[in-house]
Chains A and B, each alone.
Chain A
Amino acid sequence: MQVRVRCKMSGKITWLIILLVGLHLLLLLAGFVAPYDPAAQNRELPYAPPTRLHLWDSSRFHLRPFVYPWSPVDDGYREDRSQAYPVHAFVRGDSYRFLGLFESNLHLFGVENPGKCLLLGADAFGRDEFSRVLYGGQISVAAGIVATAVTLFVGSVIGVVAGYYGGWIDETLMGTTELFLSLPWLYFLLGVRAFLPLHVSAVRTFFLLTCVIGLIGWARPARLVRGVVLSSRTRNYVSAARGFGGADFYLLRRHIAPETFGVLLTQAAMLVPRYIAAEVALSFFGLGVNEPTASWGNMLSALQQYSVLISYGWLLAPAAALFVTSVIYYLLADALHSRLESR
């Protein structure tokens, strides 16, 4: 029975991980999947709604979907039915660097110029929202992952030291965790951000941001790791290894650190979506990655104008992407947590 539950759990975890890998591949290959360059503007198409994919024209059915271009009218856009552009797979378009390695201009799908296939509409500058969601996801999700790595590294080092050495070291460190845990993190995050330079290059902003987000959250993993270390420190096999003359560092690396792996993995799955959301919140406020680099946060900040929010609902697409990402990560964290508990 126990085994069956475990198997079912592992199956679920496998599926979630496959889903997650797929999602990250989609973002990683943004250049290929996205039909347009994220910075390419179409000044004649501001706030163009999502392009409709058609299968029927006036006379007959087409197996290959096609689109009509938007033509501006007084109160928005109307489909210009005079010219249809079929959607092709593997077309040549804007050039990009494939995985940052080599130049390419092959895209998964697209239409011939001057037709435009804006799957999720366009923003104020007529930039393709779909492409920007993919490219912006690269920044936001990478920020979440890097910040999680920073947090877990700092948290586990501090947790291991506190748990293993105990005494006044433990008390001081745990007192500090209480300080960090009791702060409303968003105010604190904003405060720390306030003390860093406002206008620097996108790359530096990215690393400052991830470090700040990551360094604020170390307290909880530190506590959890400390707990695991405390309980495993007194295990017989650790005492035995110590009796055979194992040095502190050897004991930590060989016998104690592996015990914390399960906790760290669960924490990672829990923290990544939270830190993605933190990056999104900061960029939404205008304190994160700046234009023209796309990130989910700075894309959403256009919605701070209520008129935009009401009229151009498709600009909520980054929020939807964040929603999907968070839910998958949450399910994974939940499954990992139950597996850890059932041991």
Chain B
Amino acid sequence: MSYLVRRLVRGILLLAGVSVLCFLFTEMAPGSFFDEMRVNPQISPETIAGLRAQHGLDQPLVVRYGRWVKSALHADLGYSIAYNTPVAPLLWSRAKNTLLLTLTAMVLTWGISLPLGLWAAAKRGGVLDRAITVISSLLIAVPEIVIALALLATAARWRLTPVGGMVSSNFEELSGWEQFRDVVAHLTLPVVILVLCESAVIVRHVRASVLEVLGASYVQTARGLGISRGRLLFRHVLPVAANPAISLFGFSLAGLISGSMLVEVICGWPGLGPLVLDATFSRDLYVVIGGIMFSALFMLGGNMVADIMLMVSDPRIRTGAADAG
């Protein structure tokens, strides 16, 4: 239990670190939201100064940070100047879509790459193993933006899936079942892109960790005792090989969230990505900071899940034997 508490404290410290970093960077920002207004001769400098004061932009960094922390503790995360609302509800309405996309992609990625990696390792050197090695190398080498654009072009050219947005324009008129199918159809392309990009790395790691365990002497002994191949793999190898795979699960989230931002912008999926991008252009800094905080929060949530799974799967962590640092 103390293990989980320690991880939680660490996560909170990490979030605090991220927010401090963000505010340090805002200090470097030369422009602000009201710069565009300054060009407009109808708005007097006094009005702009008043607006700046109203949003607290004229305060020193420490004061702004203090206010922001207070607002974050009230679950507001600051105030968006462009949308004229607190940031958190605004982000949350978009974050739901991002979560839908990333969670679907994550489940599919693991559902595909775990069996594939296991299979490739079990039949090492076979046709499938070599095919997986080559294809995953290619997918790792090629940047996500290239994969995304190529798939988007293919899908759009031959009308394989609807392109752009999350729902069709006549979404409101559809029945419940048709609405579901409509969202799934729009979800297909971004999910396929994300799964292709993410699963390559995971298949490789699963394969490597299974191979490592397969070489261990206790597995050789078990094999010598005549235990069937299936039982050997699933009873003796998989639980041990799961440990590095679960640690990887936490790490792979960072890639997935970054990747989903790119895919959201390219495919027009109304998630956090396009919102943060727009906020970047309009210098709506609290929305940008909020977006970063949300993405860090997702990651930490995922890491917590990974920690809990590790605790369940690895007795060494439960008893604290493996915990040296």
Which residues in window 150-167 of B have CB below 8 A to A? 150, 152-153, 156-157, 163-164
Instruction: Pick the residue among B17, B146, B164, B288 that contacts A179 (CB under 8 A).
Output: B17
Residue from A273, A274, A281 having most chain B Cβ neighbours under 10 A? A281
User: Is A133 an interface residue when CB atoms closer than 8 A count as contact?
Assistant: no
User: Is A124 an interface residue when CB atoms closer than 8 A count as contact?
Assistant: no
**Are A277 and B280 touching (Cβ within 8 A)?**
no
User: Is B277 an interface residue when CB atoms closer than 8 A count as contact?
Assistant: yes
Q: Which residue of A lies closest to B257 (CB)?
A: A184
Q: Which residue of B lies closest to A321 (CB)?
A: B146
Contacts of A187 in B (CB 8 A): 257-258, 261, 276, 291-292, 295
Number of interface residues of B (CB under 8 A): 55
User: Is A280 an interface residue when CB atoms closer than 8 A count as contact?
Assistant: yes
**Are B140 and A330 touching (Cβ within 8 A)?**
yes
Stretch of B26-34, B68-76, B225-233, B238-246 with 4 or more beta carbons under 8 angstroms from chain A: B26-34
Which residues in window 7-59 of B have CB below 8 A to A? 14, 17-18, 21-22, 25-26, 28-31
**Are B143 and A184 touching (Cβ within 8 A)?**
no
**Are B303 and A322 touching (Cβ within 8 A)?**
no
User: Is A326 an interface residue when CB atoms closer than 8 A count as contact?
Assistant: yes
Residue from A190, A303, A310, A326 having most chain B Cβ neighbours under 10 A? A190
Number of interface residues of A (CB under 8 A): 47
User: Is B144 an interface residue when CB atoms closer than 8 A count as contact?
Assistant: yes
B268-294 interface bits toward A, Cβ cutoff 8 Å, 1 = contact, 0 = none:
000000001101110101001101100
* Cα-based distance from A277 to B285 in the complex (angstroms): 25
A-side interface mostly:
helix
Stretch of A157-165, A192-200, A242-250 with 4 or more beta carbons under 8 angstroms from chain B: A192-200
A308-343 interface bits toward B, Cβ cutoff 8 Å, 1 = contact, 0 = none:
011001001001001100110111001000000000
* Cα-based distance from A185 to B251 in the complex (angstroms): 12
Q: Which residue of A lies closest to B29 (CB)?
A: A195
User: Is B122 an interface residue when CB atoms closer than 8 A count as contact?
Assistant: no
User: Is B137 an interface residue when CB atoms closer than 8 A count as contact?
Assistant: yes
Known contacts A281-B262, A322-B146; A182/B296 CB under 8 A = yes
B124-142 interface bits toward A, Cβ cutoff 8 Å, 1 = contact, 0 = none:
0000000000000110111
User: Is A40 an interface residue when CB atoms closer than 8 A count as contact?
Assistant: no
B-side interface mostly:
helix
User: Is A168 an interface residue when CB atoms closer than 8 A count as contact?
Assistant: no
**Are B285 and A186 touching (Cβ within 8 A)?**
no
**Are B292 and A188 touching (Cβ within 8 A)?**
yes
Instruction: Pick the residue among B21, B142, B261, B288 that contacts A186 (CB under 8 A).
Output: B261
Contacts of B156 in A (CB 8 A): 306, 309-310
Contacts of B14 in A (CB 8 A): 178-179, 182
Nearest CB on B from A121, distance (A): 15
**Are B29 and A183 touching (Cβ within 8 A)?**
no
Q: Which residues of A contact B (CB under 8 A)?
A: 176, 178-179, 181-188, 190-198, 273-274, 276-277, 280-281, 284-287, 300, 303-304, 306, 309-310, 313, 316, 319, 322-323, 326-327, 329-331, 334
Q: Which residues of B contact A (CB under 8 A)?
A: 14, 17-18, 21-22, 25-26, 28-31, 137-138, 140-146, 149-150, 152-153, 156-157, 163-164, 253-255, 257-259, 261-262, 265-266, 276-277, 279-281, 283, 285, 288-289, 291-292, 295-296, 298-300, 303
14 contacts between A and B (CB under 8 A): A179-B14, A184-B258, A186-B257, A190-B261, A191-B280, A194-B288, A198-B281, A274-B143, A277-B143, A286-B281, A323-B143, A327-B138, A327-B142, A330-B140
